[in-house]
Amino acid sequence: MRQGVLTGPGSFDVVDVATPVPGRGEVLVEVSACGVCASELEAWTGRSEPTYPLRLGHEVSGTVVEVGPGVESPAVGEPVGVWVASDGYADFVVARAEHCFAAQGAPLDTVLAEPLACAVNAVELADVRLGDDVVLVGAGFMGHLVHQLVALRGARQVIVADTRVDALERAVALGATATVHAGDRDLAAAVAELTDGVLADVSFECTGSQAALESMGRVTRMSGKLVLVGFHQGPPRSVPLGWWNWMAYDVRNAHFREMSTILRGMDVGMRLLRAGLLDLAPHVTHRFPLADIGDAFDAAVTKPDGFVKAVVTMAGTS
């Protein structure tokens, strides 16, 4: 089978490797698509200086084609969204049976179970309440997922800020009650006006940028919740902690490393997806065959107009 291997910054090789064999409790999944994750871009650009080669890919969807001993479900032929730690940019990947979630009803190249789990867990952690006023900074893929989940929780207002006009248009399509172009208008003033001076009950930072992080402390009410969804690797960030301290902010880091939490979020997200209460399909905007995996990573870095999310698709799968 083929596998995309990152051999150094900006350089993927598609190599031939043996198709893995599922062991006890494992299944073999024929990969339909694997999403390119923001957390992989540091290795692609070389900023994080990891040890190459790297076998990336953890946002996998596909079809079960073989089951190992002791596996009762999923069954051969079942479409699934999958948790794997790596090796997803390949024709096949082995996964634990309990790390596969049924994906009937959704286009398989849009079933990105891992980011879905992150978004579910972020909104659960934020504990958005009925009638809350919510500010979302960053209308990219994660921002859109969080947006849909916040709406399910019954927020009164969902105010979305971004620096890209096309991103704000998509937020409107998702039902944003107001959008703010962060380059054109002062976000804090806009939120104050929309909330009669009270400011947001909950703010989500979904970009991973210093500027967005800082803005949270200007749009959130006293004792409100600041939720960090963005990926803040790279240079240290700074925040006006004196102000955050005084404002009694409840700062919540929406990153999860515990397997049981990730799997629970994935299960919940996939239930919502199967029920049609969530739709990832409009947000998967760019598809690249495995042979062009480098172009997929380039697109995730440069974000051409209309870009939300890139997936690498494996030819020959459905």
**Minimum separation from the CB atom of position 231 to Zn ion (A):** 9
Return the closest-CA partner of residue 14 out of 1, 3, 29: 3
Residues 106-165 that bind Zn ion (CB under 5 A): 114
**Minimum separation from the CB atom of position 56 to Zn ion (A):** 10
Return the closest-CA partner of residue 216 out of 252, 165, 256: 252
Three-state secondary-structure class, residue 38: helix
Q: For residues 26 and 114, which CB has a smaller minimum distance to Zn ion in the complex?
A: 114
Contact status: 60 vs Zn ion (CB under 5 A): no
Q: For residues 191 and 262, which CB has a smaller minimum distance to Zn ion in the complex?
A: 262
Residue 270 dihedral angles phi and psi, to the nearest 5°? -70, -35
Residues 14-43 that bind Zn ion (CB under 5 A): 37
**Minimum separation from the CB atom of position 118 to Zn ion (A):** 7
Residue nearest to Zn ion (CB): 37
**Minimum separation from the CB atom of position 39 to Zn ion (A):** 5
**Minimum separation from the CB atom of position 115 to Zn ion (A):** 5
Tokens of 95: 């996964």
Q: For residues 78 and 114, which CB has a smaller minimum distance to Zn ion in the complex?
A: 114
**Minimum separation from the CB atom of position 103 to Zn ion (A):** 17
Residue 316: CB atoms within 10 A of its CB come to 8
Q: Which amino acid is at 26?
A: E
Q: For residues 247 and 308, which CB has a smaller minimum distance to Zn ion in the complex?
A: 308
Q: For residues 37 and 312, which CB has a smaller minimum distance to Zn ion in the complex?
A: 37
Residue 4 near residue 89 (C-beta atoms within 8 A): yes
- List, as one string, the DSSP characters of 159-176: EEEES-HHHHHHHHHTT-
Q: Which amino acid is at 108?
A: L
Count of residues that interact with Zn ion, criterion CB under 5 A: 2
Residue 306 near residue 139 (C-beta atoms within 8 A): no
The residue length of the chain stands at 318
Q: Residues 175-214: x/- map of binding to Zn ion (CB under 5 A)? A: ----------------------------------------
Beta-bridge partner residues of 284: none
Q: For residues 34 and 155, which CB has a smaller minimum distance to Zn ion in the complex?
A: 34
Return the closest-CA partner of residue 176 out of 196, 188, 191: 191
Binding region for Zn ion (CB under 5 A): 37, 114
